[in-house]
Amino acid sequence: MADLKLPRLNRVFIAGRITQDLELKYTPKGAAVVRFTVAMDKRFKDESEQWQSVPVFVEVVAWNNNAENICKQAHKGTAVLVEGKIDTRSYTDSNNVNRKVFEIIADYIQTLEWKPRAEGQGADEEVPMPEESPLPVSQTTTDDVPF
């Protein structure tokens, strides 16, 4: 039996909405990093042939310029397209239980919201985003997902 040669392919694309306000952090060596969750719907037909939606939450990590740029452009509820690769990491939680996390390491993040250009603005000028008053992180739940 011949050896099966599989391509080394690890690419993923997801589109959804950011579930919390972004917090840019820096490693001790000065690398920018932001971790956030993207929520999207998984649609399926139930036993009675009715369409149902279930939210799916995917963890995303962005580094360096990607992290700094998305923190400037997005906030809780912003629709984004994320391209990257799936990675895993393990850690021990506060109850001394070993946990494994699957997350997307973002190579490319694009906001999907169209921002109308105000009259008299040039093509390179940004339109300011409206101010929002987000809930503190301690008060957020999955019920707060903006869709």
Question: Where along the chain do its domains lie?
Answer: 12-113+125-137
Do 145 and 56 touch, CB atoms closer than 8 A?
no
Helix or strand run (H / E) with residue 70:
helix 64-73
Q: Is 137 left (phi over 0), alpha (psi -120 to 50) or beta?
A: alpha
Q: What is the CATH number of domain 12-113+125-137?
A: 2.40.50.140
pTM to 2 decimal places: 0.70
Residue 126 confidence (pLDDT): 52
Residue 114 confidence (pLDDT): 73
Residue 113 confidence (pLDDT): 79
Helix or strand run (H / E) with residue 39:
strand 32-45
Q: Which residue has the tokens 């909405």?
A: 17
CB count in 10 Å sphere of residue 19: 20
Do 99 and 92 touch, CB atoms closer than 8 A?
yes
Q: Which residues of the chain have pLDDT under 50?
A: 127, 130-142, 144-147
**Rounded Cα distance, 68 and 142, in Å:** 26
